[in-house]
Structure 1
Amino acid sequence: MALQTLLALSVVALLYTGGESATFTVVNNCPDTIWPAAYADERLPSPTGFELLSKASRNIEFPDPVISGRIWARTFCTDRCVTGDCGQGKGPCNGATGVPPATLVEFTLPGGGGQDTHDISNVDGFNLPVSMEPVGTTSCRTISCPGQINEECPADLAVKGPNDITAGCRSDCEAYKKPEDCCTGEFDNSDMCKSSRSAKYFKGKCPDAYSYAYNDPESTFNCPSGTNYVVTFCP
């Protein structure tokens, strides 16, 4: 094969595979086993789901760029999971996202020296407290949702797990699908979209986190591109 052809194929390979990746170290500080899961829109992270014992940790690699990525925890998993289920039970999610309620760590990773954008979202509900800590930089801070939202979850929003414990707390939007709660239809703008009952409750417990769709100014954060992160459930 000609040298020019080999060089051309090498360039194509680099463009396809991307030159950078971000490492997210997932830590389970909860007393019970969880099943973390991961999704990205461009190329799937590795791995996309796994079992994580209490006090254990495991890395997830996200190749840049990521326009829309997320990490969440599945709980009480057998053939299905009570919260965060992606249709695979305990197994890898393989490109599927989780069924609410689940606390989401969301991010974009542009690569190339830009700014990562990230948030913690309770827009569709909550299942576990979580924090997201940047590694190796002082130019951005740890964000967290430490509140025990499940403990005082309104009865009509509670998702029950084994022994009737509250495993998750749905949002009003997820529970009732009303446009005024979901910021859809005529409410799909910053003037009309307001905090629902659940959004106010979630925000009181987790001031850093998104609680409804137009919560951007106080709930979106940035770090330098190339930053690695530690995501801790039950920080």
Structure 2
Amino acid sequence: MSKQVWDLNAQAATFTFTNNCPYTIWPGTLTGSGNQLSSTGFELASKASFTLDVQPPWSGRFWARSGCTTDPSGKFKCATADCGSGQVQCNGAGAIPPASLAEFTLAPNSGKDFFDVSVVDGFNLPLSISPQGDDASCKSTSCPGNINAVCPPELAVKGADGSVIACKSACLAFDQSQYCCTDQYGTPDKCPPTNYSIIFKNQCPQAYSYAYDDSTSTFTCGAGANYLITFCP
């Protein structure tokens, strides 16, 4: 059996983050495997863009925090998808659900990248992933719908003004096995879509809406592509 050799000199992928929301957001980054990125969190004004180079092989996720402020003591905190670091940089901490996620596994030169948009951990902002390159087989994916607008009251997270600013997953809201696909529900045949995940899926047909939503929600692209991640596409 031949060994797979990863080319550690593989060209870095450039990720461009664009904020089409009519307000400032604070994207966060979390590395699962591979080299730590040069930024784990940053401010992004409306209509602004920011780029990060990501060296494959790498896996991790990106999201955007909203409603962020700094209190008199200097602690940074966000109304949605906060990472709990108390700073703009997340420093290795992930998003506190509910949060819309862009998830990636970047391959070395000979392999394929895998990516998806996930609302399994709930929803806070619409987003899209668009591969940039010449490979026609690379398709974009997105969660363009505003799930907050159709969020059931029992899943809703409300802001100070009473408006819905995020929507919990049923797993997060109820912590029950049939919604979390755990225990006796821990296989695809035992954990089908629920009335709650279907609400998410209707708004965002390409996004993961629950744990076993792979068939419509996993996308691939040849190694070496760059990616545009747009919030509020």
Give your verdict on TM over 0.5.
yes
Answer yes or no: is 1:36 the counterpart of 2:33. Answer: no
Preserved CA contact (<8 Å) 1:113 1:226: no
What are the Cα deviations for residues 58-112 of structure 1, in whole angstroms up to 9, with x where unaligned? Answer: 012222111x311100011123111111112451111111101110000100212
Secondary structure of the equivalent of 1:174?
A: helix
Gaps of 5+ in 2: 1-5, 70-75
Answer yes or no: is 1:181 the counterpart of 2:179. Answer: yes
Letter in 2 for 1:111: P
**Alignment partner of 1:48 out of 31, 40, 54:** 40
Preserved CA contact (<8 Å) 2:7 2:109: no
Answer yes or no: is 1:24 the counterpart of 2:21. Answer: no
**Alignment partner of 1:193 out of 188, 191, 194:** 191
Preserved CA contact (<8 Å) 2:28 2:89: yes
Counterpart Cα distance in 2 of 1:32 and 1:52: 9
Q: Report deviation, 1:16.
A: 11
Equivalence map 1:109-148=2 (5 Å): 109-137=106-134, 138-148=136-146
Aligned match of 2:90:
93
Q: How many residues align?
A: 220
Equivalence map 1:153-172=2 (5 Å): 153-172=151-170
What are the Cα deviations for residues 22-53 of structure 1, in whole angstroms up to 9, with x where unaligned? Answer: 11100000001000011112222221100100
Preserved CA contact (<8 Å) 1:150 1:168: yes
Please say which structure displays the higher CA radius of gyration. 1
Preserved CA contact (<8 Å) 2:82 2:96: yes
When you count helix as a share of all residues, which structure comes out higher? 1
Please report the RMSD computed on the Cα atoms of aligned residues, expressed in angstroms: 1.5
Secondary structure of the equivalent of 2:35?
A: coil
Aligned match of 2:80:
83
Q: Report deviation, 1:18.
A: 5.0
Aligned match of 1:10:
none
Letter in 2 for 1:151: A
Letter in 2 for 1:25: T
Counterpart Cα distance in 2 of 1:113 and 1:225: 7
Preserved CA contact (<8 Å) 1:106 1:120: yes
Counterpart Cα distance in 2 of 1:211 and 1:129: 13
> Which consecutive segments of 4 or more residues in structure 1 shift more than 6 A?
none
Preserved CA contact (<8 Å) 1:75 1:81: yes
Counterpart Cα distance in 2 of 1:195 and 1:172: 11
Preserved CA contact (<8 Å) 1:120 1:145: yes
Preserved CA contact (<8 Å) 2:114 2:219: yes
Counterpart Cα distance in 2 of 1:227 and 1:53: 26
Counterpart Cα distance in 2 of 1:44 and 1:175: 32
Secondary structure of the equivalent of 1:107?
A: strand
Preserved CA contact (<8 Å) 1:160 1:166: yes
